[in-house]
Structure 1
């Protein structure tokens, strides 16, 4: 299994919430309603839905890179 690195561009995020709905073990929404990575989940925590969450983002604010 390859290791991944997830980043979320808060400047692009519009707060659609698709990331938190798709992969709630990796993403959440902050107090202002914008997407955020859960602490320690920058590697996706082995959640297969992390890539799907990136694909579901309407503004492509999430990047998933293989490392």
Structure 2
């Protein structure tokens, strides 16, 4: 069973964008594993609390311009 875990900053994506990512990732995996993989493919999109992870030793907060509207 293909399993993909995507972590993204909280509020960076809309529900529609997350659904599109889930669909497109599934399509990509079906290309590699065949149509038989579709019903068993899991795409998990986890939202990480803003400031809940670090980049270059500094807490990361998503810039306002990149927040979902």
TM-score normalised to structure 2 length: 0.27
TM-score normalised to structure 1 length: 0.27
Structure showing greater radius of gyration is 2
Which structure has the highest helix share of the two?
A: 2
